[in-house]
Amino acid sequence: MNKFILLVAAAFLINSNISIAQQFKASEYKTFSDDGAWCWFSDPRAVHLNGKVYSGWVSADGSIVVGSYNEATGAIKKVNISHKYNKDDHANPSFLILPDNRIMVFFAAHSRKSATDNVAAISYAISKNPEDISEWNPIQKITDNVKGASSFCYTNPVLLSEEKNRIYLFWRGGNFKPTFCYSDNLGKTWSKPENLIKSTLNPSKRPYMKISSNGKDEIHFAFTDGHPRNEAINSIYYLKYKGGKFYKADGTVVGSASKLPLEHESCDLVYNGEGQKKFGDWQYYNGVRGWIWDVAVDEQGNPTLVYTLLPEETKHYYYYSKWNGKEWNVQLISKGGSTFPRFYRDKGDRDREPHYSGGVYLDHENTNVVYYSKPVNDRFEIFKAETSDLGKTWKETAITTNSKKDNIRPYAVRGADKNAKVQVLWMYNDYYIHYTDYKSRIKLDIIK
């Protein structure tokens, strides 16, 4: 047996403390939407504001739908803001709360024109009234992109209040590199787009990036070399923006916003896919591909990442890396099983996306808490786990159990503190064959 797998199994037995005190079938949880799916590279997918949860998804026919859930009354409201836009879960909307509490959403088709656009674009819209999704101002378009054979994909908006409410919008650009523009007038006009990072050593690198922010003066980035399908090794990097400069976790300056793009390899190396001497006190391995899932910061401002390591396409492991003030502390959270899409095995099809894990995500209000999806008896279930020792040990609680269908891609609601009734949303699949062929529901962690 692979040495990596033997050591991971041993660490898992030591590091896990499983609790099953409260378990429910997925069907017993409240349904936010009976037709919706999302990818994990456009965020925030759900935000909490004054007792309401706002989220969005792509329906099976490709429509972009925005929903709200009132925690006090249980009322659900849904609005289809773009009919049959792009039949692809990569097009899910991302959310931004404006200073007057109006809701702003962004969405883009998966590296192509949408079915409703004449040219490739990022679409965005602003609600007419604060904290209300009933009516929307006309959809606007961003068509300016960096040059390349692709177009737009994934949207990640950030507003920094201490930069006079500047909105930064990040996406995957035409050259498959992380790209951004900004607006100093709440979306009326936008700057010229530019790449954030590149690799001079390997110009073909196409990083996958996750982004978070404190909403005031910092933006945090975590990214890969590329897609694990295309990379024999796939390392994971970190970067922080503040006050016009970019930093590693230890405060080393990487570069300036006045001179972009940054060099890919100059950023903070969190996981080295080429070979890691030692992870914790127990783990050695070499040449294992990673894929990023989330980045956040704790109350002390220390960045935390969660990601998958993939020694084989059928073996997925969830990892947790927190900066402890001196170095990256790397720990195993849990085994993640294998890929979740259900394929037509009788046709002999190979998994089209074998690197799709059930998903792992940080609670951005408490980075000691993670949510993830892993298989139990051939069905993916949702779990919550909490650590008090930087990830060395975990107390795991099952959220769903004995489900008839797969539960995947959990998302901890941004801004939901410990008093919020809704903490996590996830996809409950009627079926999921491919990101263009699915029928899924969005669930809330509220019992009916």
Domain boundaries of the chain, sorted by first residue? 3-447
Question: For residue 280, is pLDDT > 90?
Answer: no
* Average pLDDT rounded to a whole number, residues 390-415: 97
Report whether pLDDT(200) > 70: yes
Question: Quick one: pLDDT band at residue 22, thresholds 50, 70, 90?
Answer: low
Query: Would you state the pLDDT for residue 232?
Result: 85
- Residue 10 pLDDT: 45
Residue for token pair 């903490």: 423
- In this predicted structure, the answer to whether residue 25 has a pLDDT above a threshold of 90 is no
Residue 126: pLDDT band by 50, 70, 90 thresholds?
A: very high
Q: Mean pLDDT across the stretch 165-177?
A: 97
Mean pLDDT value of segment 45-66 = 98
For residue 130 the two structure tokens come to 């604060």
Mark residue 391 as left, alpha or beta (left: phi above 0; alpha: psi -120 to 50; beta: remaining).
Answer: left
Beta bridge partners of 289: 310
pLDDT for 194 equals 98
pLDDT in tens, 317-341: 999 999 999 999 999 999 999 999 9
Question: Does residue 61 carry a pLDDT above 60?
Answer: yes
Mean pLDDT throughout 217-224?
Answer: 98
Question: pLDDT confidence of 1, banded at 50, 70, 90?
Answer: very low
Residue 282 has a pLDDT of: 37
State the DSSP code for 10: H
Q: Which residues contact 247 (CB under 8 A, 6 or more apart)?
A: 239, 240, 241, 253, 254
Q: Which of 269, 325, 317, 318 has the alpha carbon at shortest distance from 297? A: 325
Q: Note the pLDDT tens digit of each residue in 358-395.
A: 999 999 999 999 999 999 999 999 999 999 999 999 99
- pLDDT at residue 349 in the model: 65
Mean pLDDT to the nearest integer, 37-42: 98
Rounded Cα distance, 374 and 399, in Å? 12
Mean pLDDT of 173-196: 98
Instruction: Tell me the residue ranges of DSSP E strands in 119-250.
Output: 122-129, 132-136, 140-142, 153-160, 166-172, 178-183, 194-195, 197-198, 209-213, 218-224, 236-242, 245-247
Enclosing H/E stretch for 9: helix 3-15
Look at the block and give the residue holding tokens 């159990």: 401
Q: Are 183 and 166 in contact (CB under 8 A)?
A: yes
C-alpha dist (Å) from residue 180 to 45, 139, 154, 259: 19, 20, 11, 14
Q: Is the pLDDT of residue 357 over 90?
A: yes
Report residue 17's pLDDT band, with 50, 70 and 90 as the boundaries: low
Confidence of residue 23 (pLDDT cuts 50, 70, 90): confident
DSSP string covering 295-329: EEE-TTS-EEEEEEEEEETTEEEEEEEEE-SSSEE
Q: What is the length of the chain?
A: 448
Burial class (CB in 10 A: 0-12, 13-18, 19+), 270: buried
The one-letter amino acid code at 67 reads: G
Helix (H, G, I), strand (E, B) or coil at 263: strand
H or E, element range at 410 = strand 407-412
The two structure tokens encoding residue 25: 């079938």
Over pLDDT 70: what percentage of the chain? 91
Buried b (16+ CB within 10 A) or exposed e, 418-438: eeebbbbbbbbbeebbebeeb
Average of pLDDT values for 179-197?
98
Residue 4 has pLDDT above 70, yes or no: no
CB atoms within 10 A of CB 220: 23
Q: Give the model's confidence band at 90: pLDDT under 50 very low, under 70 low, under 90 confident, else very high.
A: very high
In a 13 Å sphere around the CA of 351, the CA atoms on its Cβ side amount to 14
Amino acid identity at 106: F
Interval 288-310 mean pLDDT: 95
Does this model's pTM top 0.95? My answer is no
CATH number of 3-447: 2.120.10.70
Average pLDDT of the chain is 92
d(CA 394, CA 320): 11
| Residue 175 and residue 193 in contact, taking contact as beta carbons nearer than 8 Å | no
pLDDT for the residue numbered 359 = 98
Longest CA–CA separation in the chain, Å? 59
Q: Please state, as a whole number, how many other Cβ atoms lie within 10 Å of the Cβ of residue 189.
A: 9
Task: Report CA torsion sign: 171, 173, 178, 180.
Answer: negative
Ranges of H-type helices in 132-284: none
Q: How many CB atoms lie within 10 A of CB 404?
A: 9
Residue 28: count other Cβ atoms within 10 Å of its Cβ.
13
pLDDT band at 7 (very low <50, low <70, confident <90, very high): very low
Beta bridge partners of 294: 306
